[in-house]
Chain A
Amino acid sequence: MTEQTTPWFGRILWEMIKAQPLRYGFALVLWTTIWTMPILVGLITARFFDLLTTGIESSQVISLVVAVGAYAAARSVVILIGMRNHGTMLFRAHALIRRNLLTRIYELPGAAGLDETPGEVVSRFRDDVEHIVEPFDFTADVVGATVSGIISFAIMWTIDPVITVVVSLPVLVVAVVANRTGGIVRRYRKDARDATEAITGFLGETFSATQSIKVAGAEAHMLHRFAALNDVRKTMMVRDRTLTSVLEATFRNTVNIGTGLILLLAAGRLGATGTAGISIGEFSLFVFLLTLVTEASYFSGRFVAQAKQATVSAQRLTDTLSGASWDRAYAREGLISVHGSPDEDLHLAEPDPFRSLQIRGLTYVYPGSTNGIRGVDIEIGPGEFIVVTGRIGSGKTTLLRTILGLLPATEGTIIWNDDTIDDPATFMVPPLVAYTPQVPKLFSMSLRNNLDLGIDLSDAELDESIHIATMNRDLGDMPDGLETMIGPRGVRLSGGQIQRSASARMFARDPQLLVLDDVSSALDVETEKVLWSRLFAARAGVATLVVSHRYAALARADRVIVMEDGHAVAVGTAEELDKTSAAFRSIWAGTPSSAGHHP
């Protein structure tokens, strides 16, 4: 996984603004209005106190009340319109990033996966995206606050420049403090996020392994570890929140200190007449505007801190992008289809008939281990049934996955019909190639959708695939037939049912090459025999590559490839290998099949 650096947050903000320029512009206008409107309240109130001092008449009171009423109405309208726009804008900012993340995840090799657990990835989709969009949310606020701050400052200056300058100093302090504490804020926030992620990751794994834990009676140990993780998170969270509170307190104190300074400096002149005097109205306006200015300053400070915190989340998202440039997450262009490769067209038009698949010197080694495959050669011709067999850890599944691009080959060539395939991940897919993994997964949707995956298949085509996959009885057991919802909110399927569904899914693709990893774990021998015979009856001309050590498969194989320690050590028919290959024999010695029935 390459180290990608995230640029400074301003560039990320700019990307988000570029994605929704009109909405953003509108938001700026609205929030500026929302922030500056209160100045009017300050002015109205100032007028009241001045009138009060000199002697107020009821008609004047009425006009003040009307002013307040009109203001309230206008402000309500602005809020309603503004919030709607803002809500839409923020949602779309979130939605775009999430979408881009998912797209990127699909681009990565399907079996190489991410470093994080699914639980942690979900946490990034949810929390990190939120933290990145938060500053974007507040930029409109900051602009509004700044404009209102400037106007307030100007008004205060006209009342008394000296006091204005003096009380502005604490306001500046606010901004400086916000800036300086950014580093600690970021660190505390990151620690808290990491601690939370450790917890959700742990919970995710615990509940995926419940049966093992129960059977092992290990609940107490798991809970002990869980409690330890929770303690860590508590410390981090309390630290983070207390720091936030300290900063908030600092900011609020500036208003108070500022007000105190006004009191001190205005002491002799309050209520006095003449130009040096400060009327009560002016005093109230001063304090009112000071509050506004400090709010603005506080907001800006918070915003800066938020943006710094968001850089942590932005970096995590960039990491999840696994090698893609940071701006992939925010780009509108990410909305195109995943298969943007030139080979795309090949798959839409009627493909050329399959002539050959040649694998030369294919190599992939798992990071941080010696497991993998090295220099494997395979040839598959039209209609051929090829079986890969070998001991555990010999690389059979790895081989299949590397051929299909689900693992990124580090060396070797894949040649399909005389064309070298540079990107098997986008090429070796339906309608050319279809695959069933050793542990297939279905998704929380209807059985029909799990089988057709969005392709328009006729009932006849689906029925045929179900038949080949020996799924008929399973289908009969489904309460709503093909419309049955699968998954946590629907029906739980057994391992065998999942395997058969995945096989039906594969057959429904009607490919030129079928690839099946070991089905023996979920299907008994009898069922597997039926599967092969139906497959051959219905798909005789289709090239097939399987992993198996069952007699039914080995007997039919045109060629058997024996894997050992990541190398293909023997190739031939089962009969030949039984005579010539010690490796093959060592796998099969001691079974009744070899003793009584030669393959």
Chain B
Amino acid sequence: MIPVRAYFKLFKAYLEPHRRQAVLLAAVLGSTIALQLLNPQFIRAFIDGATSGDDVSSLWPIAVAFMVVAIAHQLLMVWATYLAERIGWSATNQLRADLTDHVLHLDMSFHKSTSPGSLIERIDGDVTALSNFFSSMIIKVIGNGVLLIGIIVLLWAESWIVGITITAITVTTFLGLFRLHGVIVPWQKEIRATAAELYGFVGEQVDGTEDVEANGATGYMLSRFDDIQARWEPQVVRGWRGWSYMWIGSMMLYFGSLIVVFVLGSYLFGIGTLTLGTVYLVFQYVQMAHNPVEQIRQELIDLQKAGASIERVQSLFDTESALARNNSATLPGGPLGVEFDDVTFSYGDADDETVLETVSFSIAPGRVVGLLGRTGSGKTTVARLITRLHEPQTGSVKIGGMPTWDVEMADLRHKVAMVTQDVQLFRATVRENLTFFDDSTPDSELMAVIARLELEPWLESLPNGLDTMLEAGGGGLSAGQAQLLAFTRVFLRNPGVVVLDEASSRLDPATERLIERAVDHLLEDRTAILIAHRLATVARADDIVILDDGKVIEQGDRETLLSDPDSVLSGLIATGMEEVLA
């Protein structure tokens, strides 16, 4: 099935801005078809003139006209191609942008379960297939389709018998090709699926060479690679077989028509209905029909692939974020209170474990809270809920008194900042990594923040300062240095709430102290949730919340808790806090 309707449903919006260009394209294409249909008429005239003994001087203009029309036809074809490509790429670029926008705003549970590689396949691979679909569709399918119709009409004009038979053969062949197409489609899908598997594998391997090589597992991985390729080969070969069927099918049109020329041509010439030139004309048109059919046949395969692409793109658009997006409340400036009100949350993974259970605590604006607990107690999840990367199943998370889902996302992300230990860097300059490609941040601002963090030595150690190109995946920086960059990123904004989630776990204490000096500055006049393991960090906290296994086991003013010998906090300090809580 050619997914024309599905295609245009998706594409109407994207083609709309290019309407005038599309109309021009249609006009140009129409002209090329007209010219192409015109030329055989010249030859007919020439042959009839020559065989009836016309003077040579009357034949030459025909020959010249033939050449002129042919050249004009080709030039218009170039123009048509240019227009079609431009429209196709402009429209699909917009589609790409919208798709990427949509995907970026999907929630984290989607992203954790979807590899970047498969998203690239969709946003670039599938959408590019749609771009080719457009330019191929218009020129090769519609253009050739109209040409074919024109040929049949002209044949009909010469002799209705010829017209009927040629039409019958053409229609039968097309129907046959369509049916055949339906058989071939799943074969194409399978080929593309295995391709995705193979290239996903390659992507993982290239990313994981350290693990593979250090484990001496290269032979094993190569054999797995061989397995995928061995599985893929028969699928691809079967695809070729499908293509041969299509080729043979369209050939039948040509030979059927040729037989019609022989049989009907000889009969009609014999009874004087057609001149010799006209028989040749019919022959020319029949030959002219072969190429369009070939081209349509070739494009049918691409169109089919496009069908799968359209489905995938549409399903991506249909995937909704688990988080509602259309809220418009904004938060005030300055420090904001944070409140967890009876929050229960689970990630909804295979294990379906409840990560937070009826968690409630309240943080007044401008207070610094130390959030303590073992790994797996739910601290990271608390951080994610505050920044609204996820939403709780029951209960609510409130910032500045407003539930997070009432606040406009962009505003929330601006006012709530988080530093995690997993630093994600780009193959771009340090500047671009700090600003996320925002050209509008002046260097003076970057330098001010770097100075506040006392990171000038680090910046100076880089060969080109802010212009230093980081490698793919942020190579060239150690994990700790990357952490400092992540810190700088966050400090560029002016959030009302800061969550520092296990930011110190890879930094050793000496460097940690460097950062803490800067942290002191930024904790002024902000609410902060510190998830760390060092007494020094906790010592800075005004309040303490202790989690264990997803439940709050203690919360309150730090000094009050410390002065109570029976509090959990006192107990932790007595046994050597780091040992238990890091």
Complex Cα distance A239/B208, Å?
Answer: 37
For residues 226 through 255 of chain A, which have their beta carbon under 8 Å from a beta carbon of chain B? 226-227, 230-231, 233-234, 237-238, 241-242, 245-246, 249-250, 252-253
- Indicate with 1 or 0, residue by residue over B506-537, a CB within 8 angstroms of chain A CB atoms: 11111101000000000000000000011110
Cβ-based interface call for B478 (8 A): yes
A122–B214 CA distance with the chains assembled, in angstroms: 22
Which A residues lie within 8 Å of B437 (CB)? 218, 221-222, 224-225
B10 at the interface (CB under 8 A from A): no
Specify which chain A residues have a CB less than 8 angstroms from the CB of B120 in the assembled complex: 119, 122, 200, 203-204, 207
In the complex the two chains form, is B124's CB within 8 Å of A203's CB? yes
Query: What distance in Å separates the Cβ of B287 from its nearest Cβ neighbour in chain A?
Result: 8
What mask results when residues 406 to 419 of chain B are scored 1 for a CB within 8 Å of chain A, else 0? 00011001100110
Contacts of A597 in B (CB 8 A): 576
A310 to B139, CA, bound (A): 27
Q: Decide if B21 is an interface residue (CB 8 Å cutoff).
A: no
* B174 within 8 A of partner (CB): no
Contacts known (A435-B215, A437-B211); A88 close to B237, Cβ less than 8 A? yes
Q: Cβ of B578: which chain A residues have Cβ within 8 Å of it?
A: 525, 551, 591-593
B21 vs chain A, min Cβ distance (A): 12
Q: Is A260 an interface residue (CB 8 A)?
A: yes
The reply on B276 being an interface residue by CB < 8 A is yes
Contact A592 B576 (CB under 8 A): yes
Task: Say whether B453 faces chain A, with CB atoms less than 8 Å apart.
Answer: no
B62 interface residue, CB < 8 Å from A? yes
Complex contacts, B438 vs chain A, CB 8 Å? 218, 221
Are B413 and A217 in contact, with the CB atoms below 8 A?
yes
By a CB distance below 8 angstroms, the chain A residues around B534 are 591
With A64-B262, A118-B207, A523-B375 already in contact, 18 other A-B pairs whose C-beta atoms are closer than 8 Å: A65-B259, A68-B262, A80-B248, A95-B229, A103-B222, A120-B472, A126-B199, A205-B472, A211-B389, A227-B93, A245-B77, A249-B75, A257-B71, A267-B60, A439-B479, A454-B217, A454-B220, A591-B509
- 8 A–B pairs (Cβ distance < 8 Å), ordered by A: A61-B266, A102-B205, A212-B423, A223-B100, A234-B86, A242-B78, A441-B211, A591-B578
A-chain residues with CB within 8 Å of residue B39 when the two chains form the complex = 256
Stretch at the interface among B238-246, B298-306, B443-451: B238-246
Q: Is B30 an interface residue (CB 8 A)?
A: no
User: Closest 6 interchain pairs by CB?
Assistant: A392-B480, A87-B240, A256-B70, A217-B413, A454-B220, A209-B424
Q: Is A105 an interface residue (CB 8 A)?
A: yes
B97 within 8 A of A: yes
Q: Of A199, A207, A437, which is within 8 A of B214 by CB?
A: A437
Asked whether B353 is an interface residue with its Cβ less than 8 Å from the other chain, the reply is yes
In the complex, chain B residues 204-243 whose Cβ is within 8 Å of any chain A Cβ: 204-226, 229, 232-233, 236-237, 239-241, 243
Q: Is A181 interfacial (CB-CB < 8 Å)?
A: no
Asked if B577 lies at the interface with its beta carbon under 8 angstroms from chain A, I say yes
A251-269 at interface with B (beta carbon < 8 Å): 252-253, 256-257, 259-260, 263-264, 267-268
A125 part of interface (Cβ distance < 8 Å): yes
Known interface pairs A213-B104, A213-B436; A443-B511 also in contact (CB < 8 Å) = no
A206 at interface, CB cutoff 8 A = yes
A393 contacts chain B at the CB level, 8 A cutoff: yes
Q: Tell me the smallest distance from the CB of B477 to a CB of chain A, in Å.
A: 8
Give the number of residues in B that approach A within 8 Å (Cβ atoms): 171
Which residues does chain B contribute within 8 Å of A438, judged by CB atoms?
A: 479
Q: Which residues of A contact B116 (CB under 8 A)?
A: 119, 203-208
Chain B 55-68 interface mask (CB, 8 Å, partner A; 1/0) = 01001101110110
A467 interface residue (CB < 8 Å to B): no
Shortest CB-to-CB span from B421 to chain A, Å, is 6
Q: From B44-52, B337-345, B358-366, B563-571, give the one contacting chain A.
A: B44-52
Question: Contact string, A116-130, partner B, CB cutoff 8 A, digits 1/0?
Answer: 111111100110000
- Judging by beta carbons under 8 Å apart, are A209 and B75 in contact? no
Q: Is A53 an interface residue (CB 8 A)?
A: yes
Are B579 and A95 interface neighbours, CB within 8 A? no
Residues of A within 8 A of B279 (CB): 49, 52
CA distance A434 to B211 in the complex (A): 10
Residues on A with C-beta less than 8 A from B420 are: 211-212, 215
Contact B478 A392 (CB under 8 A): yes
B463 at the interface (CB under 8 A from A): yes
Contact A264 B476 (CB under 8 A): no
CB-CB contacts of A507-526 with B at 8 A, as 1s and 0s?
00100000000101111111
Interface assignment of A378: CB less than 8 Å from any CB of chain B: no
In contact, A211 and B424 (Cβ under 8 angstroms)? yes
The answer to whether B506 touches A392, judged by C-beta atoms less than 8 angstroms apart, is: yes
Judge if A5 is at the interface, Cβ distance under 8 Å: no
Q: Is A342 an interface residue (CB 8 A)?
A: no
Q: A577 near B: Cβ within 8 Å?
A: no
Given A260-B63, A429-B213, does the pair A491, B349 have CB atoms closer than 8 Å?
yes
Q: Is the CB of A267 within 8 A of B513?
A: no
Q: For the complex, give the distance between the alpha carbons of A91 and B215 in Å.
A: 31
The one of A99, A215, A216 in contact with B229, judged by C-beta atoms closer than 8 angstroms, is A99
For the complex, give the distance between the alpha carbons of A429 and B215 in Å: 6
Binding stretch for chain B, among A6-14, A353-361, A367-375, A530-538 = A367-375
A280 touching B51 by the CB < 8 A rule? yes
Answer whether residue A339 sits at the interface, using C-beta atoms and an 8 A cutoff: yes
B508 touches A390 (CB 8 A): yes
With A121-B202, A270-B47, A444-B204 already in contact, the answer to whether A339 and B218 are too (CB < 8 A) is: yes
| Centre residue among B114, B226, B473, B507 by max chain A CB count within 10 A | B473
B389 to chain A, nearest CB (A): 6
Closest Cβ of chain B to A368, distance in Å, is 6
Q: Is A421 an interface residue (CB 8 A)?
A: no
Interface 0/1 of B469-486, CB less than 8 Å to A: 001110110111101101
Question: Would you call A422 an interface residue if the criterion is a C-beta within 8 Å of the partner chain's C-beta atoms?
Answer: no
Shortest distance from the beta carbon of B321 to any chain A beta carbon, whole Å: 11
* A596 cross-chain contacts in B, Cβ below 8 A: 576
A445: nearest chain-B partner, CB-CB: B224
Q: Is A587 positioned at the interface, with any CB of B under 8 Å from its CB?
A: yes
Query: Complex: how many Å from CA A587 to CA B510?
Result: 5
Answer whether residue B81 sits at the interface, using C-beta atoms and an 8 A cutoff.
yes
Q: B410, A217: Cβ atoms under 8 Å?
A: yes
CA A48 – CA B374 in complex, angstroms?
A: 92
A217 proximity list for chain B (CB < 8 A): 409-410, 413-414
For the complex, is B505 an interface residue (Cβ under 8 Å from A)? yes
Say yes or no for B11: interface residue by CB 8 A criterion: no
| Residues of B with C-beta under 8 A to A199 | 124
| B16 lies within 8 A of chain A by Cβ | no
**Interface-central residue, A246, A404, A524, by most chain B CB under 10 Å:** A524
Which of A107-115, A323-331, A457-465 lies at the interface with chain B? A107-115
CB <8 Å contact, B375 and A215 = no
Residues in A with CB closer than 8 Å to B241 are: 80, 83-84, 87
Quick check: is B490 within 8 A (CB to CB) of the other chain?
yes
- List CB contacts (< 8 Å) of B85-136 with chain A: 85-86, 89-90, 93, 96-97, 100-101, 103-105, 108, 111-120, 123-124, 135
Nearest Cβ distance between residue B122 and chain A, in whole angstroms?
A: 10
Q: Is B82 an interface residue when CB atoms closer than 8 A count as contact? A: yes
Asked if B27 is an interface residue, CB under 8 A from chain A, the answer is: no
Q: Is the CB of A201 within 8 A of B427?
A: yes
Structural contact, B479 and A392, CB atoms closer than 8 A:
yes
Q: Which residue of A lies closest to B69 (CB)?
A: A256
User: A4 at the A/B interface (Cβ < 8 Å)?
Assistant: no
- Residue A586 at the chain B interface, CB threshold 8 Å: yes
Q: When A68-B262, A430-B215 are in contact, do A83 and B209 touch as well, CB less than 8 Å? A: no
A441 cross-chain contacts in B, Cβ below 8 A:
204, 207-208, 210-211
CA distance A127 to B255 in the complex (A): 37
Question: Can you list, as one digit per residue, whether each of A290-330 has a CB less than 8 Å from chain B (1) or not (0)?
Answer: 00000000000000000000000000000000000000000
Taken together as a complex, chains A and B put the C-alpha atoms of A523 and B224 apart, in Å, by 31
B222 near A106: Cβ-Cβ < 8 Å: yes
Q: Contact between B425 and A209 (Cβ–Cβ < 8 Å)?
A: yes
* Complex Cα spacing A211 to B389, Å: 8
Residues from chain A with Cβ under 8 Å of B119 in the complex = 203, 207
